[in-house]
Structure 1
Amino acid sequence: MNLKGKKVLITGSEGFIGSHLTERLLELGADVTALVQYNSFNSWGWIDTLDENIKNNINVVTGDVREYDGMKRMIKGQEVVFHLAALIAIPYSYQSPMSYIRTNIEGTANVLEACREYDVQKIVHTSTSETYGTALYVPIDENHPMQGQSPYSASKIGADKIAESYYRSFNTPIATIRPFNTYGPRQSARAVIPTVISQILAGKTELKLGSLTPTRDFNYVKDTVEAFIKIAESDKTIGEVINAGSNHEISIGDLVNKIIKLSKRNVRIVCDNDRLRPEKSEVNRLWADNNKIKQLTTWEPQYSLDEGLNATIAWIEKNMKYFKTDVYNV
């Protein structure tokens, strides 16, 4: 499928990955409708920060994936749907699990039912590596069991199974992308990399962090966005769940030391108990097997960890106004 000229809807377009995906689709010549969550401030999230020439070419609509009638109105006439809208913060899912069920499971069901009704040509549904839980073997391929180690991951498992059921029951043309830990410009301080970088740039001499021993497979946002594109373009991906990861792991402790070195600062790491997950909820190891995406598409990661971190440091340094370094962002 060539996305040029296609009518494309992106849910969650105002978010971190969604805003980058919106830009990339415009570059490819798609006719983009960007769904942002309705709010009384009329905020379009990161879409508000884009260049005016880019914004003028986006059809921005407001709504809520939890509301089916609204989804029907927005999806009617669309040819491709990228479904990214979700609640994603793991710590907040301990506080408000029902909100994750309503947004991530019921919201996904609303989007897919509307896509089925209007015969959308391709849907790319967004999963997460958190659905795997702590690795039972590495690297983690798509056959790895799913483990609900937090209300967030459980809600995403539910959403993924809804997507699978629509493919199996109705032959809905769905592909599920399962990104591992994406980072880069516009990511909020709820994630470890912007938390570390923003604290360092704010002049902190101590870094407040959670556990340093877990490992993660980090991917620069432009690589993740390109994985979305390649999965959408390939007919081979329909009905498949596909990892998007680098096939490399690094511990949080080693990652933090790398960021400190790249930032050329002197800081001390302090473990903050408020940032620790419950013991049985901590995901200790994530490492992606990315063979499947390479077999089904032409995707290959293009950015090394150092390249991505340097780009992220430079962006955060220019945009410190978005970070409250004295407040733990749940």
Structure 2
Amino acid sequence: MSEFSFANLTPDFILDAIESIGIYPESGLMALNSYENRVYQFKAEDNCRYVVKFYRPQRWSDEQILEEHQFAFSLQEAEVPVVAPITRDGESLFHYKGYRFTLFPSVGGRQFEMDNLDHLEILGRYIGRMHSVAGSQQFSHRPKVNCQDYLYKAKSAVLNSQLLPMHLETPFITILDRLITKTEQEYHQVEQIRLHGDCHAGNILWAGDSLMLVDLDDCRQGPLIQDLWMMLNGDRHEQAVQLDTLLSGYEEFNSFEQRQLSLIEPLRAMRMVHYMGWLATRWQDPAFPRNFSWFATDKYWEQQILALKEQFATLHEPALRLIP
């Protein structure tokens, strides 16, 4: 199957699509930072600001997208601060000449400060509230966080892309295979719940003193630590302090099992490999060579060999521990 192109998604086409659901833009379209989909902000005649997202075809089914929307609605109903889709005549997913799109309210704010412990504690409370709602039922159509998708499919995408320099193939594949084997050994099964799935600083906004979770596009089923570990950075002591702060807020609303801590480094390894596979898979989209040109350089792959070796060594270390 050839890679889909967004080339036909012209400004006039986008405006026609938006107007087809009874929203009439007054301002021009401002493209927002998104590579997987195409996302634009605009002001309408009703004096409200909106964000429209056009989904990449062949990625999610209608059922999977609607399940994301329903998850957002259930969180919003439970007063978890999340940006949920706007409905028109009871619908949240719209179709226009082969494209699927969704409308959201435009939410302003500044990026989340990962080194601010007060912010981390507040975030912990919100994630705890989100998981208390998320654990009430399972996804039926959304995928799980699993080794097959994050490791093996990602590896195949990289090797099939022909972007890996020939003279680096042997050292890269050697350490990648060792990392995959060790990660699969360490990624033991725990209770899986509905997750945000991509809970990093770029998907959290601050407006005044309020926090807002955005972009549930990668929501899926998985271990709850998946929505926490990306907030950790620095050395082990710094990460322990950050985790302790997150959990002090989290456990006000949801329980946390310490055996989840042993999944942090396997999940980090999975994200590293999955990211490479994602770039390789999307390389035929002109936006990717334009914005990720370093992905096709020898220097990038040399750095990845080193990063995989370091992560492989980390997988052999004791799991992060909470501060006594």
Query: Do both proteins adopt the same fold according to a TM-score greater than 0.5, normalized to the shorter chain?
Result: no
Larger C-alpha radius of gyration, 1 or 2?
A: 2
After TM superposition, the score normalised by the length of structure 1 is 0.28
After TM superposition, the score normalised by the length of structure 2 is 0.28
Larger strand proportion of the pair: 1
